Amino acid sequence: MGEVYKPEEIEIKWQRIWEEKGVFRVKEDPDKPKYYVLEMFPYPSGRIHMGHVRNYTIGDVIARYKKMRGFNVLHPMGWDAFGLPAENAALKHGVHPADWTYDNIDYMRRQLRRLGFSYDWSREFATCDHEYYRHEQRFFIEMLERGLAYRKKTLVNWCPSCHTVLANEQVEDGACWRCGTEVVQREMEGWFFRITAYAEELLRDLEKLQGKWPEKVLVMQRNWIGKSEGAEIEFEVDGLPEKITVFTTRPDTLYGVTFVSLSPEHPLAERLAERAGIKEELLAFREKARRARREIEEGLAEKEGLFLEAYAIHPLTGEKVPIYAANFVLMEYGTGAVMAVPAHDQRDFEFARKYGLPIKVVINPEDAELDPETMEAAYEEPGVMVNSGPFTGLPSEEGKRAIVEHLEKIGVGRKKVSYRLRDWGVSRQRYWGCPIPVVYCERCGVVPEKLENLPVKLPLNAQIDEAGRSPLPKLESFLKTECPRCGGPARRETDTFDTFVESSWYFARFACPDAKEPLVSEKVHYWLPVDQYIGGIEHAILHLLYARFFTKVLRDLGYLHLDEPFEKLLTQGMVIKEPYKCPRHGWLYPEEVSESGTCLKEGCGERVIVGRPEKMSKSKCNVVDPDEMIKRYGADTVRLFMLFAAPPERDLEWSDQGIEGAFRFLKRLYHLVSEWSEKIREVEPYSGDGNDLPSELKALRRKTHQTIRKVTQDLEERLHFNTAIAAIMELVNHLEDTLKKASPEAPGFYEVLKETLRAIVLLLSPMTPHICEELWEKLGEKGLVAETEWPEWSEEVAREEEITVVVQVNGKVRDQLRVPAGTPEERVRELALSSSKVKRHLEGKTIRKVVFVPGRLINFVAN
RNA sequence: GCCGAGGUGGCGGAAUUGGUAGACGCGCUGGAUUCAGGAUCCAGUGGGGAUACCCCCGUGCGGGUUCGAGUCCCGCCCUCGGCACCA
């Protein structure tokens, strides 16, 4: 059998060589086209998991492939290093968040190196380095000056367990995205980024990403931004100078308004309640609504209202309609006030029925007349306007325009666009984050830190308290400072940034990680945008929207020159595995399940239930540890399996037998090359025209060139590594067959063998780089495979000389013919009709029609 | 409820433009090797009928277009993901 494949030896050897030669270090080179490949950087949680391995393997294949194609490839890696788990670890194990974080980074860096990823490690940084976040603080100050960052008091999502505010995007089904605790509403002052100022651009530029980003992500972002066009309409309040401004998308239903609903948080609600002497009731109502927010948002809670004993005046009819506070009206959307049209809005309909308010039909369907008495639901479709004064008779779509025009003319309304997107709350009451660089001065109020005083360093001499609260508000040395403006005594901001701020611009910093200034124009100009970004779908909204926003802000601040940061996006699927569950012992590790599928715990013997494959999680005991797999099979095998088992955008089911298969393939290839290496080391790859070769060698060359074409197309156009690998396996199978058949004495034997083996090694090298370097060396090649050009194919050589033509009778396959390529229809027909199988099926029938598809099939239609 | 993706052998998945459904891998069956197991190698492997040539059926279900449909159209079912009182 000869040499044994020893992955660990080979892999460490080549990793050292790549490192020593600085193969993946890059700098700007105006003579070469650049290519920037980026994978979403990890949170240093302790160890990498299979999801990381998959993500980074995909990126590595692309980076290595592009390099072989002659691109100057930037492929960096870093650490999203601020965040809550560091504080939790500090609480649990008494380690400082900084130590915990940097230790984790060291461990995980080693893991990534062991996988052989082609990173330019000289560019590595962690976002908790003050040399990184100092620039973020500068951006913040500049945003503050431009009104893009501001402070306000609002109802915020508060996680009682994490002691912090959460952005809307961080609330999932009413629970904290990190710890799952139910989120409560709380009024707080905090810092916000005015992302809504970019709502329209963020929406519009999604068009530029069409076809380059997954449609799914574009749809999710579009929905999140949630543009709706409508109008603002003013209602006077009877007996008071105040006005209520409502937002509606249905100005055509204005004549159907029978009451007005205010959010319980609406300032006017409080004033009206006070006037009516029911302030207590309102406050109780508001409290209840806040508490029930989750059920309200899930549509579970009953609609409730509180009559504020006041009336609004209809701007067109002058009619008086009651004003209610209603628990389903959101202060954060539109104006916090809604004109209620029960006949044509389901929510208002339910509310009206509950409180016995009138229902007035103003839109009829084309072919029917609605009766408010018998209606069971609101009619929300377009139709014909009725009971609408001068607008009666108009189609409702036209009526929208007509009414808004009229309102504008008389000055009580206007066209208006609303967005669901809200400003991004970035304040976190956390310790392990980037300090927000402002101070509170008794005299000057809120003052930004001077640029030359940056960074405002996070003090490392602090300990989290037992409740998990940030130590900053109690840390005098940090807290006490002087006002950058007047020099008087001042207090530092103790909130830190949401960690999504750091990940919103790290991709740009990789262009110039060591620069004194935030972003070096020429470098950023050369490398950006990211040509291919790769990461999990879970960031479809949060991270990707913020990064897009930051790109636009940094552009407007003069740091960047582009509108969109990520040219192409690939969202890879999860790595999943079936969990095992024992009815008595709960979730089991695979080694706790017997061969025959029974529970081995405490001699239990109960039949184990195999669940459907799902995301790996510790609690379900279905995690596979990358370290263990690397130890057993080597990095190349793990990488190969990750790429082969499914196309990248789909979920990948972990399979112990599957990885065995990948290992087997690499072993086979290793032995194959080893076996022939002596004989072909000095041989030049075949370069003739093929006419001197026996047919099986010609066929092998054909297959080789077809495979180069196929693999190149799969990597270039579709990023479908699974089919690329399948094609290479086919070539290896074909080669082995040929070696059995062909005689080494045949002319050109060694040359063709060399040509084929070279191609196999080159094609496979982006996916399993270590074994390929080793085999490259065995083939007697000089230099590194990583620095070799990607192979070319020749259409001439790849062309089939003989093809299979399928013969059908009435659309059913009856025979197959081998004919020279390009055989004309007449000849194919002649051959087909002489086939006994075909004759049998045509017996007693008349041919009505013949369909001929050149190179594919001939079909006789007969009856 | 709305939006999106998907449903193909025992399993993961191929089929890129409407043209041989099931590439490649796993598993399984038989054989070689072995004291035995493992590893490796060879052959077979969608279902059914005949076991020789062959024939019938088959890509979630029902219809349609077409010489020909996994692929296109219409109507359903199921699974997964996202959003959801946004006025």
> pLDDT tens across A764-787, in order?
999 999 999 999 999 999 999 999
The answer to whether residue A816 scores a pLDDT higher than 60 is: yes
Residue A785 covered by a domain: yes
Which nucleotide minimizes the distance between its C1' and the CA of A733? Answer: B24
Residue A517 covered by a domain: no
Q: What is the DSSP letter of A619?
A: G
Name A residues 650-689 whose Cβ lies under 7 Å from strand B: 650-653, 655, 657-658, 660-662, 664-665, 667-668
> A135 or A590: whose pLDDT is higher?
A135
Per-residue pLDDT band at A1 (split at 50, 70, 90): very low
Which tokens sit at A724? 């690329």
Contact flag, residue A849 CB and nucleic strand B, below 7 A: yes
Q: H-helix or E-strand containing A696?
A: helix A695-713
The answer to whether residue A809 scores a pLDDT higher than 50 is: yes
SS3 at position A44: coil
If asked whether residues A399 and A323 sit together in one domain, one would say: yes
A224 CA → B70 C1’, Å: 35
Residue A59 covered by a domain: no
Residue A781 φ/ψ, nearest 5 degrees: -80, 150
Name A residues 119-138 whose Cβ lies under 7 Å from strand B: none
Which nucleotide minimizes the distance between its C1' and the CA of A338? Answer: B87
Determine the average pLDDT of the residues in A262-281.
93
A464 CA → B26 C1’, Å: 51
Beta-strand runs (E) in A15-85? 34-39, 72-74
Determine the average pLDDT of the residues in A663-670.
95
Peptide bond into A529 cis (omega under 30): yes
Q: Which parts of A361-520 fold into alpha helices (H)?
A: 396-410, 476-479, 506-509
If asked whether residues A837 and A706 sit together in one domain, one would say: no
If asked whether residues A286 and A409 sit together in one domain, one would say: yes
The answer to whether residue A162 scores a pLDDT higher than 80 is: no
**Average pLDDT of chain A?**
91
The confidence score (pLDDT) of residue A293 equals: 65
Contact A707, A759 (CB under 8 A): yes
> Which CATH number belongs to the domain containing residue A673 in this structure?
1.10.730.10
Residue A570 covered by a domain: no
Which nucleotide minimizes the distance between its C1' and the CA of A337? Answer: B87
Which of A780, A798, A816 is a domain's end point?
Answer: A798
Determine the average pLDDT of the residues in A77-97.
90
Name A residues 255-284 whose Cβ lies under 7 Å from strand B: 263
Name A residues 722-761 whose Cβ lies under 7 Å from strand B: 722-723, 725-726, 729-730, 733, 736
- Highest-scoring range by mean pLDDT, A60-64, A236-240, A596-600, A694-698: A60-64
Contact flag, residue A861 CB and nucleic strand B, below 7 A: yes
Residue A220 class from Cβ within 10 Å (0-12 exposed, 13-18 middle, 19+ buried)?
Answer: middle
A64 CA → B5 C1’, Å: 30
Residue A396 covered by a domain: yes
Does A618 show up as a binding residue in the annotation?
yes
Contact flag, residue A215 CB and nucleic strand B, below 7 A: yes
Nearest to A481 by CA among A470, A471, A469, A493: A493
Residue A536 class from Cβ within 10 Å (0-12 exposed, 13-18 middle, 19+ buried)?
Answer: middle
The answer to whether residue A423 scores a pLDDT higher than 50 is: yes
Determine the average pLDDT of the residues in A261-286.
93
- According to DSSP, the residues that pair with A235 across neighbouring strands are A244
A828 CA → B55 C1’, Å: 26
If asked whether residues A827 and A758 sit together in one domain, one would say: no
Residue A55 covered by a domain: no
- Count of CB atoms within 10 A of residue A201's CB? 13
Contact flag, residue A697 CB and nucleic strand B, below 7 A: no
Contact A804, A818 (CB under 8 A): yes
Contact flag, residue A216 CB and nucleic strand B, below 7 A: yes
Name A residues 805-834 whose Cβ lies under 7 Å from strand B: 806, 808, 810-814, 816
Nearest to A54 by CA among A628, A566, A644: A644
Name A residues 404-423 whose Cβ lies under 7 Å from strand B: 418, 420
Contact flag, residue A288 CB and nucleic strand B, below 7 A: no
The answer to whether residue A698 scores a pLDDT higher than 80 is: yes
SS3 at position A39: strand
> Which residues neighbour A138 within 8 Å (Cβ) at sequence distance 6 or greater?
A451, A454, A518
Q: How far is CA A362 from CA A236, A376, A414, in A?
A: 22, 16, 21
Residue in the structure block whose two tokens are 């990403």: A209
Residue A329 φ/ψ, nearest 5 degrees: -90, 125
Q: What is the DSSP letter of A43?
A: P
Contact flag, residue A617 CB and nucleic strand B, below 7 A: no
The tally of domains found in chain A comes to: 4
A857 CA → B63 C1’, Å: 29
Comparing every residue's Cα with the C1' atom of nucleotide B13, the nearest one is A646
| Residues A281-308: tens digit of each pLDDT | 999 999 888 877 656 555 556 788 999 9
In strand B, which positions have an atom below 7 A from any protein CB?
3-5, 11-16, 19-21, 23-27, 39-42, 54-56, 67-69, 81-87
The confidence score (pLDDT) of residue A297 equals: 54
Give the separation between CA A760 and CA A534, rounded to whole angstroms.
27
Cα end-to-end span (Å), chain A: 61
Q: How far is CA A150 from CA A58, A191, A390, A423, in A?
A: 40, 6, 46, 10
Complex-level ipTM beyond the 0.85 threshold: yes
Which nucleotide minimizes the distance between its C1' and the CA of A333? Answer: B86
The confidence score (pLDDT) of residue A160 equals: 82
Which nucleotide minimizes the distance between its C1' and the CA of A811? Answer: B68
Comparing every residue's Cα with the C1' atom of nucleotide B4, the nearest one is A216
If asked whether residues A708 and A737 sit together in one domain, one would say: yes
If asked whether residues A770 and A845 sit together in one domain, one would say: no
Residue count (chain A)? 863
A811 CA → B73 C1’, Å: 21
The confidence score (pLDDT) of residue A168 equals: 66
Residue A394 covered by a domain: yes
Q: How far is CA A243 from CA A232, A260, A274, A308, A389, in A?
A: 12, 12, 17, 15, 23
Which of A399, A419, A439 is a domain's end point?
Answer: A419
Which tokens sit at A485? 């403006």
The answer to whether residue A434 scores a pLDDT higher than 50 is: yes
Residue A709 class from Cβ within 10 Å (0-12 exposed, 13-18 middle, 19+ buried)?
Answer: middle
Which tokens sit at A174? 């009413």
> Which residues neighbour A21 within 8 Å (Cβ) at sequence distance 6 or greater?
A784
The confidence score (pLDDT) of residue A247 equals: 94
Range of the domain at A279: 227-419
Which nucleotide minimizes the distance between its C1' and the CA of A251? Answer: B87
The confidence score (pLDDT) of residue A684 equals: 92
The answer to whether residue A556 scores a pLDDT higher than 60 is: yes
If asked whether residues A792 and A807 sit together in one domain, one would say: no
Contact A186, A170 (CB under 8 A): no
Name A residues 766-805 whose Cβ lies under 7 Å from strand B: 804
If asked whether residues A289 and A385 sit together in one domain, one would say: yes
Residue A301 covered by a domain: yes
> A370 or A292: whose pLDDT is higher?
A370
Residue A628 φ/ψ, nearest 5 degrees: -65, -40
Helix pair A769-778, A7-21: axis angle to 10 deg: 90
If asked whether residues A249 and A387 sit together in one domain, one would say: yes
Contact flag, residue A521 CB and nucleic strand B, below 7 A: no
| Residues A608-637: tens digit of each pLDDT | 888 888 888 888 888 999 999 999 999 999
If asked whether residues A764 and A715 sit together in one domain, one would say: yes
Give the separation between CA A573 and CA A198, rounded to whole angstroms.
30
Which of A374, A390, A419 is a domain's end point?
Answer: A419
Name A residues 301-360 whose Cβ lies under 7 Å from strand B: 301-303, 327-330, 333-334, 336, 338-339, 345, 347, 350
> Which CATH number belongs to the domain containing residue A809 in this structure?
3.10.20.590
SS3 at position A107: helix
Determine the average pLDDT of the residues in A98-111.
96
If asked whether residues A750 and A672 sit together in one domain, one would say: yes
Residue in the structure block whose two tokens are 């066209």: A415
Which nucleotide minimizes the distance between its C1' and the CA of A298? Answer: B84
Give the separation between CA A634 and CA A620, rounded to whole angstroms.
26
The answer to whether residue A508 scores a pLDDT higher than 70 is: yes
- Count of CB atoms within 10 A of residue A490's CB? 23
Comparing every residue's Cα with the C1' atom of nucleotide B18, the nearest one is A853
If asked whether residues A294 and A318 sit together in one domain, one would say: yes
Nearest to A230 by CA among A379, A324, A345: A345
Determine the average pLDDT of the residues in A96-120.
97
Contact flag, residue A851 CB and nucleic strand B, below 7 A: yes
